[in-house]
Structure 1
Amino acid sequence: MKVLLRAATIYNPQSEYHLQQQNILIENGTITYIGPDEKEADHTIASDGLSVSAGWVDMQAYTGEPGLEYKEDLESLAAAAAAGGFTEVLLLPNTEPVVQTKSAINFIKSKAQTLPVTLLPAAAVTVDAQGKDLTEMIDLHQSGAMAFTDGTHPLQGADVILKALQYLQPLDGLLMNRPEHTRLTEGGQMHEGEASTRLGMRGIPALAEEVMVSRDLQLLSYAGGKLHFSLISTSAAVEAIRKAKAAGLQVTCDVASYQVAFTDDTIEPFDTNYKVTPPFRSHTDAEAIKEGLKDGTIDAVASAHMPQDVEAKKLEFDLADFGIINLQTAFAVANTTLELPVEVLVEKLSSNPRRILGLSEARVAVGEAANLTVFDPSPSWMPTQEANKSKSHNSPFFGKELKGKVLATIHKGQLVLNDSF
């Protein structure tokens, strides 16, 4: 099969064609021509703002398989990921059972072989993600675990963080943690501020994130190793990480692509599709996130895809589960709200996540296997439930105008054309 990308702007710093507009021919999964000539092909992809980059990598998404397939299974997650432009996705370990054994790692890798998206298993740091006893991290690393995290369960014990950093150092392994002091957020429903007081909801204070970022950075300074913070949301956390990087610590972080799409006073009150963790925070926090992305403090943009079934969301706000689906909309939401140049946003979706996870570079170059995301950053569109690939429908973006479309992915010799529009 031959695929031609006609007059595509290339966003790939590792390529000699970076920021150039070229025709690209892919034959049977390999890039065979880049240049001005138009070649014959079985499929031609063209648009006024056609753009291409190395395939995007999502730093964290949740699948219900095994155990909770009614929320999301590996096939539906891969379909949503490809429609959203992702060719590789890091999966949280919070399934039933938790991903903490060689067989669980092998199950994901085996089932994903024929899918158009590479699924990267993350393994739990502690047994059953309960924050107590460490898992067999060396064996899990050798079996293919790409990172270690308790996922939706933030690590609370300083001793656990310290031991995990020490165990992973000889492996050059990556420890990931979502910084949240759960005793300070217990019962919280939204960001603690004027809006939560006005609505009569128990707040989730910014302090709960900030104290854990500060603590974990001190532990990293003491123990060494590599630490990645997932889903940063507050201005103080951004500033602490900025200073830690300047001091030479091996720390990286990501932010949910939707984090600044709303603030605590712009969400639809009591609509559970706006209930996320960490929550939509203040205008000041949103501006700090944007600045942190621009100056490189925040390395990556993640989908934070968290599918929830109707029974988990169609409840009173305080009883509903946290999370929204976002694999299909991650790029468009980020492109609409984060105020980043396309080149910078693509870096935070592609090359930076690859560097953090230790993945090989994907280059737009003749002779290279095609691992590409094809997109147009200009058109406006509205997500609909009918075009949703996920098994779940918990999104605040249905019916809202977004800017930037994913047109296709090419990976593992498979072309996935986006039919969501």
Structure 2
Amino acid sequence: MNLLLRAATIYDPQSAYHLQKQNILIEKGIITYIGPDDKEADKVVELEGLCVSTGWVDMNAFTGEPGLEHREDLQSLAAAAARGGFTEVVCFPNTAPVVQSKGSIHFIKHGALGLPVTLHPTATVTTDAQGKDLTEMIDLHHAGAVAFTDGTNPLQGADVLIKALQYLQLFNGLLLNRPDHSRLSEHGQMHEGQASTRLGMKGIPAIAEEVMVTRDLQILSYTGGKLHFSLVSTAASIEAIRKAKQAGLQVTCDVASYQAAFTDETILPFDTNYKVLPPFRSEIDVEAIKQGLLDNTIDALVSAHQPHDTEAKKLEFDLADFGIINLETAFAVAITNLTDALSLEQIIEKFTSGPRRILGLAQPKIETGQVANLTLFHPNLTWTPTEEETASKSRNSPFYGKPLTGKVIGTFHKQQLVLSHTF
């Protein structure tokens, strides 16, 4: 299929056409023309205000397959990702069983071959993600694991973290870790503050994250290697990472796009669709997140897409699982809540070149002769997510019924066009 993107504004700093409105012709998956001339094509995408960038990458998503397919499978994950503008998705290893073997890596990679999205599997750092014995990370790396993480189980043991960072240096591997001191956050339900006290809920203190960020940075300084913090959420954590970067440590971090959408004071009390980990923090923390994105202390925006079945969410707040789905809304949530601090170019960078730099992935370009890996979007269109239109198998989202600004029009990747917008 030949595809023409008519009068699309290009967002790609690597391209000679950056911020220019051009026609883009794609033939057999290759960009063959960029310029003002109209071209014949089997399919034309035309929309006033249409924008195009290199395909977006999500660094933090969970699939239920294998073992938890009722929450999400590879097909529904890819469908949700494409609708959300993502052409590449990093899958965390917390499946049943966890991803800790070459067979598990191959299962995900081969299962995604025919899908419009490339899935990048991660593998666990420790056996069964229990934080004790290291997995065979060299073999898993050669099998295709892009990084190593215990995912929802943050590494608690300092000795394990030291060994993992040293081991990963044998092949320049990347360790992802969510900073959380499990004993300090144990039984917590939301951010520890006035709101949690008012609601009578046990809080998750900011220090539960911050003490682990400080510890992990000290260990990184001792061992060397590459460390990425997943889902930072507090002002002190961001400041510690900022200083570590200035000191020359190989440290990066990301934040969930939804973290700027709410605070502990603005969530709907006892609605489990607002129960996330780390929790929605204070207004001071939200402002620190915006500043961290602005000065590149925070390298990437992620969806933190964590599907759950109804039985895991329609419970009393203290019994419900943490996590929400966000692949389809990640971009719109970012545009809606971050454009008071960041430009559109800066937000797009956090979904494109930022994640690829961290993961060491190839950077596609919007140039003639290049393989087309593209996301089509309109930054000013407003829309309202609904359960009926969700591609995910799960429905645990706080954004249903809430108007959002910023609409994904579609994706083009692996010679497949997926349109998310009705013309």
Deviation at 1:20, TM superposition (A): 1.3
Q: Where does residue 314 of structure 1 map in the other structure? A: 314
Consecutive unaligned residues of structure 2, counting only runs of 5 or more, are none
Deviation at 1:69, TM superposition (A): 0.3
Q: Alpha-carbon deviations, 1:170-229, whole Å to 9, x = none?
A: 211100000000100100000000000000000000000000000000011110000000
Q: Does 1:233 align with 2:263?
A: no
Q: Where does residue 351 of structure 1 map in the other structure? A: 353
Residue type of the partner of 2:189?
Q
Deviation at 1:401, TM superposition (A): 0.7
Counterpart mapping for 1:96-107 below 5 A? 96-107=96-107
Deviation at 1:42, TM superposition (A): 1.7
Q: Distance in 2 between matches of 1:271 and 1:414?
A: 38
Q: Distance in 2 between matches of 1:242 and 1:19?
A: 30
Q: Distance in 1 between matches of 2:8 and 2:246?
A: 37
Deviation at 1:419, TM superposition (A): 4.5
Q: Alpha-carbon deviations, 1:82-129, whole Å to 9, x = none?
A: 000000000000000110000000000111100000000000000000
Q: Alpha-carbon deviations, 1:252-281, whole Å to 9, x = none?
A: 000001001000000000000000000000
CA contact (8 A) 1:268 1:274 kept: yes
Deviation at 1:48, TM superposition (A): 2.0
CA contact (8 A) 1:381 1:401 kept: yes
Q: Where does residue 247 of structure 1 map in the other structure? A: 247
Q: Does 1:202 align with 2:202?
A: yes
Deviating runs (4+, > 2 A) in structure 1? none
Secondary structure of the residue aligned to 2:260 is coil
Q: Where does residue 289 of structure 2 map in the other structure? A: 289
CA contact (8 A) 2:408 2:421 kept: no
Q: Alpha-carbon deviations, 1:303-352, whole Å to 9, x = none?
A: 00000110000000000000000000000001111222110011000001
CA contact (8 A) 1:83 1:420 kept: no
Consecutive unaligned residues of structure 1, counting only runs of 5 or more, are none
Q: Distance in 1 between matches of 2:21 and 2:224?
A: 43
Q: Where does residue 271 of structure 1 map in the other structure? A: 271
Q: Alpha-carbon deviations, 1:330-377, whole Å to 9, x = none?
A: 000011112221100110000010111110011001011100001000
Residue type of the partner of 1:203?
G
Residue type of the partner of 1:402?
L
Counterpart mapping for 1:38-53 below 5 A? 38-53=38-53
Residue type of the partner of 1:44?
V
Secondary structure of the residue aligned to 1:159 is helix
Q: Alpha-carbon deviations, 1:2-40, whole Å to 9, x = none?
A: 111111111111111111111101111110100011111
Q: Distance in 2 between matches of 1:83 and 1:217?
A: 36
Q: Distance in 2 between matches of 1:102 and 1:170?
A: 18
Q: Where does residue 397 of structure 2 map in the other structure? A: 395
Secondary structure of the residue aligned to 1:4 is strand
Residue type of the partner of 1:200?
G
CA contact (8 A) 1:335 1:404 kept: yes
How does the TM-score come out when normalised to structure 1?
0.99
Select 1:413's aligned residue among 403, 407, 415: 415
Deviation at 1:420, TM superposition (A): 7.2
Q: Distance in 1 between matches of 2:199 and 2:40?
A: 61
Secondary structure of the residue aligned to 2:197 is helix
Q: Where does residue 117 of structure 1 map in the other structure? A: 117
Q: Where does residue 9 of structure 2 map in the other structure? A: 9
How does the TM-score come out when normalised to structure 2?
0.99
Q: Distance in 2 between matches of 1:416 and 1:180?
A: 37
The alignment's C-alpha RMSD in Å is: 0.8
Q: Where does residue 377 of structure 2 map in the other structure? A: 375
CA contact (8 A) 1:8 1:21 kept: yes
Q: Which is further off, 17-26 or 68-77?
A: 17-26
Residue type of the partner of 2:283?
H
Residue type of the partner of 1:357?
L
Q: Distance in 2 between matches of 1:179 and 1:16?
A: 40
Q: Distance in 1 between matches of 2:10 and 2:170?
A: 37
Q: Distance in 2 between matches of 1:302 and 1:254?
A: 7
Identity of aligned residues (%): 71
Secondary structure of the residue aligned to 2:105 is helix
Q: Where does residue 19 of structure 1 map in the other structure? A: 19
Secondary structure of the residue aligned to 2:293 is helix
CA contact (8 A) 1:120 1:146 kept: yes
